[in-house]
Amino acid sequence: MKIPQKKILSNSIALLLFAFILAMLISPRFKAKIIAGLMNLGLFQPDVSDVRPQQGIPAGYPIHFSTSDGQHFTNESFRNKVVFINFWATWCPPCIAEMPAINDLYAKLKNNPNILFLLVNADKDPKKAAEFIKGKKFQMPVAVSQSTIPATWYKGTLPTTVVLDKNGNIVYRHEGTANYSSRQFREFLQGLLK
């Protein structure tokens, strides 16, 4: 008995689709690569066209951070600087997918002393986060929070990106993946310095 070509083709497509879905569910790396590929196609662009400053956190509300090399600092060091903050985790595929774009943005702006980058690891393990970043050959500074993050910054969704202006006001907040390496986003950050 000969099996029809159409049946072989449809079964093959169904099997490939099943394997693809299974890989998406099981492998965070595979999912991150798919999301990164979609970002490269132009999806997940951050929208900075209608940005209105929102109230920042109250003055005197200290948020403590620490790095893997033992440095400690607070949000008070952010004064008079534009700050790009990304909340992420090593196990989060969308976080991993957007990291190359964040690293590219960081590489282009890291020499500007008035723009700070801070990747806040939700795992609360600075050494593990630093090893992950180093293993991926990224250059971005990584920290963990040692105090409660205000809900105006982070509500628990990963990844979440927040941009603060020089006065500490939130001028951009996005939950989910975005391609931050675009010229438009870079110009948005630089424009906040004026």
Interatomic CA distance for residues 142 and 153, integer angstroms: 17
- Local confidence pLDDT in tens for the 194 residues of the chain: 677 788 777 777 877 777 767 666 677 677 667 666 666 666 666 555 555 556 555 545 789 999 888 888 888 888 899 999 999 999 999 999 999 999 999 999 999 999 999 999 999 888 899 999 999 999 999 999 999 998 888 999 999 999 999 988 888 999 999 889 999 999 999 999 98
At 113-166, the pLDDT tens digits run 999 999 999 998 888 999 999 999 999 999 999 999 988 889 999 999 999 999
- Please say whether the beta carbons of 120 and 153 come within 8 A: no
The domain ranges of the chain are 1-194
Give the other-Cβ count within 10 Å of 61's Cβ.
14
What's 1-194's CATH class?
Answer: alpha beta
Output the CA torsion sign for 141, 29, 155, 48.
Answer: positive
Interatomic CA distance for residues 71 and 65, integer angstroms: 8
- Please say whether the beta carbons of 103 and 110 come within 8 A: no
